[in-house]
Structure formats: structure tokens, C-alpha cells
Structure 1
Amino acid sequence: MHLALDPAAQDLLFRQARTANSFTGEPVSDEQVQAIYDLVKYAPTAFNQQPLRVILVRSPEARERLVNHLGDGNKEKTRTAPLTAILVADNEFHEELPTQFPAFPEAKDMFFGERPVREASAAFNAALQVGYFIVGVRAAGLAAGPMTGFDAEGINKEFLDGDHHVLAVVNMGRPGEDAFYPRGPRLAYDEVVTTV
């Protein structure tokens, strides 16, 4: 009663949503991915910087190149997923900043200044966008299988230039047989929230 989303939407996006470990063979279309992006592009970021970039891995050759950099537990599920997305932070995101950016001169100095500051900002804000991306996949009625078990340096060299770095790899599709592990425990409200 305290949430604006109806219970079915709450279940779809949160309570019943799980990390998928197997998928059916049903393809994920470019139109579905565009619909997902058109939702998740509204994720909050500092100064609207939008550093997330998405590489869709569709060809068998590219998929095998990616699988070579994944941990053993992630290889087979990625080989058989209908679609895999490499989610990347663009360290040169400042080149794409929106037109309202000059209204924030203090941020301009920060983002156009030292590269380590830009990289940290890109990583944090793109990570926010990654979370939204996963929820967007769920909103499309698909299952997401986000992974961090990979050789980041290897993926960076294989697929990216020096201005980008991988944050996550996400398999996408309709969940297959035995797609979900048992739900892990979650901390209770009073274990997480304090009031000062």
C-alpha cells in the first residue's frame, strides 16, 4: 500500500526477479534491446553524464572471444544465452555531455581535469546505469544474468580501447529450465537502516 507500483510489477522487477543461469533459445531482438535502453537511459547520474556504453555480443566468433575471458562457471551459460551485453564505462564521457553542462562550471573542471577523477566518476555513474539496465531487462519480461566473474583486463584488450573499461557482462533472454538458484538471504530493514 506504500508503493506506487502494483504488486505484479513489484514482483516482475524485484521480488520474483532472479539472476538467470540458463535460457531458452528464443532470440532477443534489437527492438527489445532498444525498448530496454529507452527506459534505462533515464537512470540518475552526476551532471547527467551518461558514461554507460553497451556492446551486444551476437556473432558466434565474438561470443567465443568473450567466453575465453570468463570464469569457468560463466562460460557455458554465456555460450548458450540468446544475447550477451558487455556493459562498459566510457572514461571520455565528457565529450558527450549534454548542452546544459556549462551551467555547472565546477563539474567541468572536475570532468575535464585529471583522468583518474574522470575514470572514477565514469565507473560510479555507469554502475548506477548498470543497475537500471538489469531492471530494464526485467521490465521487458526477460531474465538477466549479470556476471562479474571475468578477466576484465582481457575483455578490455579484446573488445575495447584505452578509453573504456568493462563493468559487467549480462546474459539476457527467457529463463530456461532450472534457470534460478535458490533465493539467497537478504538483510532485514533494521540491519541496514539507521536514523540519525
Structure 2
Amino acid sequence: MPSINDQALDQMFRQARTFNHYTDQPVGEDTLHAIWDLMKMAPTSANQMPARLVWCTSQDAKEKLAPCTSGNNGDKILAAPVSVIIAMDTEFHEHLPMLYPHADAKSWFDGNAELRQASAFRNSTLQGAYFIMAARALGLDTGPMSGFDAGAVDKAFFADQPSVKTNFISTLGHGDRATLHDRLPRPAFELFNRIA
């Protein structure tokens, strides 16, 4: 498979940024489906796909989510075209007969809540990263955040689904590049890596 070109690499990585402010350009529901259709193709362990997303597009949904956050994250949520809750289903294994049909993968997790929790967190975090990259691939920007009360989000959005727990939140839209500050430092390979 050939490498993607420099323009694509810039869009996905080198020139991509985290945004706190967005333009007024809307994000349509068809685009949300397109993001999902890309991110669902990326790998998770045994095709677990534990992520459960809530796409907050209405003002009512954003007003329900905003008070669950800290600092100025609530303002960011209210102002963004879309805010997304990336959650995880700790009973993802119930879907494995459909998602991983060539082995009895469900039995690997039956009766082991600790393993399910660890797997759900790891793989929904991967899916959250795929969400960011899919959005960038489609010309959108994101603002992932961790300043929130997960219990409050769960109560507000997943009270009827006790196995679903919030992982993180992200805003989504067309970033306002006029509001960007200088890019924060990125370390050289040698600082955080070693080849064994």
C-alpha cells in the first residue's frame, strides 16, 4: 500500500490542531454518519468496538452536557456546532457473536467484569482517537477534553444503560483558525522512545 501524500499528512497530523473555537459553519448529520463509517473500520481487539457515541447537536443536549464539565469546557460545548460523548459499553461482549463470529469470543469475557472494564476502556479510547482522525480526514476539527464529571455525564445521558460509562468528550466543527495560539512543543524521537 503506498504512503499518503504530504497534503494528507499535514491535514491529519502536522498542521492539525485542537480547537476551542469554531466557525458558524454547520456540521450535518450526514457528516456524523461519514465519521462513524470511517472510524468503525479501524482496529479494536477482537473487533470489540465498545465505544458508544452521543452526538450532541441540539441546544437541549448541549445544555444538558455543559453543566457536567469544569472550567470553561461548558462554554466550549455550548458554542461548538457538535459536542460528542465518547463512552464505552462494559458489556460489549454481548455483541461479539455478531462482531467476531469465527470464535467464541463472548466466553472470554463472561463473568470477568474487570477484564471487560479494562478492554472497554482501552478499545473505546482507541475508537475515540479514530474519531478524531476520521473528523480530520473529512476536513473537520475537534477539541477533546477531560475536564468533566463522568458520573454526572453518565447520569444525564446513560441512566437507562448502566453498562455504558463516559470515557471522554470532544467538540466538533470547523475550527476558527484565527483563535489559534502557537503550537505547543513536540519532543524529538530520542526523548520518549527507544529501539530495543
RMSD of Structure 2 on Structure 1 (CA)? 1.6
Partner residue in 1 for 2:110: 112
* Pairing 1:164–2:164 present: yes
What letter corresponds to residue 175 of structure 1 in structure 2? G
CA contact (8 A) 1:102 1:108 kept: no
Q: Is 1:182 the equivalent of 2:194? A: no
What residue in structure 2 maps to residue 24 of structure 1? 23
Instruction: Extract unaligned runs of 5+ from structure 1.
Output: none
Query: CA distance change for structure 1 residues 191 and 101 in 2, over 3 Å: closer, same or farther?
Result: same
The answer as to 2:187 corresponding to 1:191 is no
Distance in structure 2 (CA, Å) of the matches to 1:100 and 1:29: 28
Q: Please give the alpha-carbon distance, in whole angstroms, between the structure 1 residues aligned to 2:8 and 2:175.
A: 18
**Matched pairs, number:** 193
Listed as ranges, the gaps of 5+ residues in structure 2 are none
| Code of the aligned partner of 1:122 | A
Deviant stretches of 4+, over 6 Å: none
CA deviation profile, 1:83-130 (whole Å, cap 9, x unmatched):
11111101111121254735444x433312221211111110110111
Secondary structure of the residue that 2:181 maps to in structure 1? coil
Match of 1:51 in 2: 50
CA contact (8 A) 1:92 1:118 kept: yes
The 5 A counterparts of 1:1-196 are: 4-99=3-98, 101=100, 103-105=102-104, 107-160=105-158, 161-176=161-176, 178-196=178-196
Matched to 1:15, the amino acid is: R
SS of 1:72's equivalent in the other structure is coil
Aligned-pair identity in percent equals: 38
3-state SS, counterpart of residue 165 of structure 2: strand
- Work out the CA distance in 2 between the residues paired with 1:96 and 1:124: 17
The CA deviation string for residues 55-84 of structure 1, in whole angstroms up to 9 with x for no partner, is 011221221110001112212111110111
Tell me the TM-score normalised to structure 2 length.
0.92
Offset at residue 46 of structure 1 (A): 0.8
| CA shift for structure 1 position 188 | 0.9
Cα gap change, 1:164/1:49 in structure 2, threshold over 3 Å: closer, same or farther?
same
